[in-house]
Amino acid sequence: MKLKLLKKLILSVLLVASPGCSFASLIVNGGFEDAPDPDSGNYPKPKDFGGTVYYANSVPVGPLKGWTFGYDGTLDNTYGTAEVEWYSDAFKKSWNAAPASGQFAVQLNSDAFRGRIYAQPSLTQNLTVGQTYTLTFDLAPEAGVLTPSAVSAVVTIDGIEHAFSVPASSSPTSTWTHESMSFVATSQTPSIRFYDGTYRPDVNSNFGNNINLDNVALVPEPSPMWAVAFLGLAVVIWHVRSPERSPC
């Protein structure tokens, strides 16, 4: 009986302590695979170039399949437009990179000089304040843009900015870059936003070189519990292996 109990306790300790524990992502529709119907009426401009791109080009838009899209800055048509392109591998414009995985991805298309567009995901559940989380995502620049300079993306968590840079592409295809960052949750429902470019001041750093986004995931980091776990395991083993003692 004691041996069975020992096996169960050892298994429980290893499950708790293992740093390889996997967690389901807390981001709703992080791969954009639950794509909206281009004829659903969500888009003022549902089709373009023969139906090759799904658009949500009137911002803010959302929540739409787990995502809200918005625009920060002054939209001056003299300097271009701002739109979101929710596209597939089969239906995309020439400057959309093929999705990093699956069928769909999103491009944040801030052609306006005086602002930038953002994508904000929703969460499947509240975060634990004080817990460390890892946010991962894939970025790609526009394909076929003849600008050799790097293209920037900014992730904000409750307004705190984290900048990422990917090489601009001058070829017909774009290479995806896998990015990762960690943060400590200071609120249960933090605002996480992916921005197309920096905005300092009144100028979008990308201005026509837009960012493709795919495979967004958020998971808690495992706690370093090995020492505590093995101490508990040692106590359990000592207790199970100890002979019965007389109450005298």
Q: Are the CB atoms for 165 and 141 separated by under 8 Å? A: no
Hey, how many other C-beta atoms are within 10 angstroms of the C-beta on 19?
10
Percent of the chain exceeding pLDDT 90 equals 33
Of the pLDDT bands very low, low, confident and very high (cuts 50, 70, 90), residue 21 is low
Across the range 6-18, mean pLDDT stands at: 44
Q: Are the CB atoms for 54 and 92 separated by under 8 Å? A: no
Burial of 99 (0-12, 13-18, 19+ CB in 10 A): buried
Of the pLDDT bands very low, low, confident and very high (cuts 50, 70, 90), residue 155 is very high
Query: Residue 100 has what pLDDT?
Result: 94
Q: How far apart are CA 95 and CA 79, in angstroms?
A: 19
Q: How far apart are CA 16 and CA 138, in angstroms?
A: 30
Across the range 67-80, mean pLDDT stands at: 70
Bridge partners of residue 154, in order along the sequence: 163, 195
Q: Which amino acid, one-letter code, is at 28?
A: V
Query: Residue 192 has what pLDDT?
Result: 97
Sequence-distant (6+) residues with CB within 8 A of 91 are 51, 52, 53, 54
Q: Encode pLDDT of 172-224 as tens digits.
A: 777 899 999 999 999 999 999 999 887 766 666 666 678 899 999 999 998 66
pTM: 0.76
- Token pair 């170039």 in the structure block, residue: 49
Q: How far apart are CA 85 and CA 195, in angstroms?
A: 14
Across the range 236-248, mean pLDDT stands at: 48
Across the range 161-171, mean pLDDT stands at: 84
Q: Which amino acid, one-letter code, is at 36?
A: P
Q: Are the CB atoms for 14 and 7 separated by under 8 Å? A: no
Query: Residue 144 has what pLDDT?
Result: 73
Q: Encode pLDDT of 124-145 as tens digits.
A: 999 999 999 999 999 998 887 6
Across the range 221-230, mean pLDDT stands at: 58
The domains located in the chain, with CATH, are 24-223 (2.60.120.260)
